[in-house]
Amino acid sequence: MARVTDATNVSSAAGRDDDSAGDEAPATATATAVDERSDGAARAGDESLVATPAPRTGSWFDDTWRRMTATPRLLRRTEWIMLGAVTLLAALLRLVGLSHPGSLVFDETFYVKDAWTLVNLGYEGTWPENANDSWAAGDPNTYSSDASYVVHPPFGKLVIGLGLLLFGAENPFAWRASVAIIGVAAVVLLWFVARKLLGSPVLATIGAGMLAIDGHAIVMSRVAILDGILMFFVLLGAYFVLLDRDDQRGQLQGRILAWRRTDGPPEGRGPDGLPLAPVPTPFWSTARAPTWPTLGPDWGPVLWARPWLLAAAVTFALASSVKWSGLYFLAAFCLYTIAVDALERRRQGVTFWLSAAVLKQGPASFVITIPAALAVYIASWSGWLATTGGFYRTWAEEAGHAWTGLLSWVPLPLQSLWHYSVEAYRFHTGLGADHPYQSSPLEWPFLIRPTAFSYTYSDPSPSCSGVETCVEAITSISNPLIWWSGTVAILFIAIMSFLQPRWQYGFVLVGFAAGYLPWMAYLQRQAVFHFYAIVYLPFMILAVLFVFQTIAGTPDSPRRLRTAGVAAIGGVVVLFALVSALFLPVWTGMLIPDWYWSLTHWLPGWK
């Protein structure tokens, strides 16, 4: 009986579509053949024939998985159950007790109040000194219409403002509702990204579960600041890039095959007139034509129908409208699509494959992505542009400020927006305020200095008794085992990209690099925090999944090795869950004894 679920096993290679026989069918067939041969040998008087049983492969997990996914319907049902379970877990950890604490925490003091004025005024207004006390008392309307100077684009605050409008700004749940829902959606999205990359719903569930129980992701979903929103839109844009990759490669293959069928050289077609399999072009041929005729076109087609690439550009623009660091992902993944195009053209035998991707497809991809991204970013400022009260809104209308010469045609509001952006960039790059929880990007891979969002000491109470001091803390620290595993896994796939290249490794490394490497240019800046790293946490988790896949082997591995690998992964996942259970009180602001809080200070910088 053909096995149709190999690609869904815990360690099956991404894109694996070869069907292999199940364990029971080969054993039965072998036994029957041996019996028949033995009977024949006995009749012939030959007693030298000895039956050799086939070695067993797979593990108990593979046996169970085959039963759970024996039909396409069972497979779909199992996948939905797994996705539903991890989504429920994420929702419980993010939504239960979301209104606690009932006061603004950390940078909520900026973003929640800015969000409320943004949805009411169209721009960020100013607040009196006691505004936080008013919020806690249920009065969110003490703001004035005077403009406030802010240094992040509006979209993330508009997302927070949507929750305020839906649930009421006086309700602490409303302050964080949008961010929490997006945090749950990020877990679901990571499941689909991992499913597509690795071809395994089991690994996808493990990866989504890791994000669901990671403290960094939990805190950034329970506190109304911008970085969790940024992470979601970056991950969504990356998923659209994955979908575009399939579409892009399919279009190239189809267009080049059609060319070879009709206009290509005759030697590229067999006796039946059908094109032969494409021969990859040598790497050096992109600089000069080979001395022999090639089977592919010189350049290949230009692809204009790229809906998923357009969707990715729009999504990365939304990420950039939350924080400008989203621009790095837009640039990195646009370059990634050019690389994918170049390698596919080479595989299809295109002569000048690199120059075709860069100089022919590259400008078309630019036209598809950049104007749309720019339009979306400007649209995110529509409230500021449609009013005149925002900070710097009328700058270009003041004497001597309007542009002259070639750029004089640019509308004055856009000139003012450009000036605002330049000033905000100067603020970011020159920010030198010292902070007790600042953390250099060089420390991020090692989790040296996570950010404590709040901590309050109090006397014992009925929920915290028998001790001298209790503490209520919220610290945006990742599950240490998950984070350190992610750091090691990134190094692993970086090395494996040279030893055993896979396109999936490149995708993960591009996402990680776009989130981390740009910070190397700002090492001199003081006010930098570890919670910025949330944006590339999903790519670290994806790297861990590839390590798990390598450890587990394949369903065809010897049974002892396969069982040991699957058991090892199961043990690691259990450790992840136990550590998350230990740290959960300091992620959600539970009242705990001071000694318990000390248990979570594994390194000096965690205090």
Q: What percent of the chain has pLDDT over 90?
A: 70
From 65, 100, 117, the end of a domain falls on: 65
Q: Are residues 209 and 190 in the same domain?
A: yes
Q: Are residues 342 and 419 in the same domain?
A: no
Number of structural domains found in the chain: 4
Q: Are residues 463 and 347 in the same domain?
A: no
Q: Can you read off the two tokens belonging to residue 602?
A: 């594994």
Residues 6+ apart with CB under 8 A from 499: none
Q: Are residues 269 and 216 in the same domain?
A: no
Q: Are residues 534 and 458 in the same domain?
A: yes
Of 460, 489, 474, the residue nearest 572 (C-alpha): 489
- Beta bridge pairs of residue 254: none
Q: Are residues 264 and 194 in the same domain?
A: no
Q: Is residue 231 part of a domain?
A: no
Count CB atoms within 10 A of the CB of residue 160.
Answer: 28
Q: Is residue 230 part of a domain?
A: no
Residues 6+ apart with CB under 8 A from 29: none
At residue 319 the predicted structure's pLDDT band, cuts being 50, 70 and 90, is very high
Q: Is residue 36 part of a domain?
A: yes
Range of the domain at 412: 386-429
Of 344, 79, 359, 372, the residue nearest 237 (C-alpha): 372
Tens of pLDDT, residues 474-496: 999 999 999 999 999 999 999 99
Q: Is residue 233 part of a domain?
A: no
CB-based burial, 97-111: b 16+ in 10 Å, e otherwise: ebebbebbbbbbbbb
Helical ranges in 139-226 per DSSP H: 155-167, 172-198, 201-213, 215-222
Would you state the pLDDT for residue 5?
38
From 65, 92, 107, the end of a domain falls on: 65
**Residue 32: is its pLDDT beyond 50?**
no
CA 79 to chain centre: 20
Q: Are residues 446 and 590 in the same domain?
A: yes
Cα(128)–Cα(49) distance, integer angstroms? 94
Q: What is the mean pLDDT of residues 52-72?
A: 83
Would you state the pLDDT for residue 28?
38
Q: Are residues 35 and 128 in the same domain?
A: no
Task: Give this prediction's pTM.
Answer: 0.89
Q: Are residues 410 and 477 in the same domain?
A: no
Q: Is residue 208 part of a domain?
A: yes
**Residue 400: is its pLDDT beyond 80?**
yes
Q: Is residue 525 part of a domain?
A: yes
Count of alpha carbons within 13 Å of 21, Cβ hemisphere only? 11
Q: Can you read off the two tokens belonging to residue 502?
A: 């896979």
Would you state the pLDDT for residue 53?
65
Cα(253)–Cα(383) distance, integer angstroms? 45
Q: What is the mean pLDDT of residues 554-564?
A: 90
Q: Is residue 151 part of a domain?
A: yes
Of 117, 165, 105, 169, the residue nearest 143 (C-alpha): 117
Q: Are residues 361 and 425 in the same domain?
A: no
Do the beta carbons of residue 304 and residue 244 sit within 8 Å? no
Q: Are residues 351 and 449 in the same domain?
A: no
Q: What is the mean pLDDT of residues 220-236?
A: 97
Q: Are residues 498 and 411 in the same domain?
A: no
Cα(404)–Cα(410) distance, integer angstroms? 10
**Residue 604: is its pLDDT beyond 70?**
yes
The most distant pair of C-alpha atoms in the chain lies apart, rounded to whole Å, by 112
At residue 47 the predicted structure's pLDDT band, cuts being 50, 70 and 90, is very low
Q: What is the mean pLDDT of residues 333-340?
A: 96
Tens of pLDDT, residues 572-590: 999 999 999 999 999 999 9
Would you state the pLDDT for residue 117?
96
**Residue 134: is its pLDDT beyond 90?**
no
Cα(20)–Cα(23) distance, integer angstroms? 9
Q: Which of 138-147, 231-240, 246-255, 271-280 has the lowest mean pLDDT?
A: 271-280
From 359, 380, 401, the end of a domain falls on: 380
At residue 387 the predicted structure's pLDDT band, cuts being 50, 70 and 90, is very high
Strands 470-475 and 591-593: antiparallel
Would you state the pLDDT for residue 501?
92
DSSP-assigned letters across all residues of 244-275: HHHHHHHHHHHHHHHHHHHTS-GGGB-TTSPB
Mean pLDDT of the chain: 88
Q: Is residue 76 part of a domain?
A: no
CA dihedral defined by 80, 83, 86, 90, rounded to 10 degrees?
A: -110
Cα(584)–Cα(479) distance, integer angstroms? 9
Cα(386)–Cα(389) distance, integer angstroms? 9
513 exposure class (CB count in 10 Å sphere: 0-12, 13-18, 19+): middle
Of 165, 162, 196, 199, the residue nearest 181 (C-alpha): 162
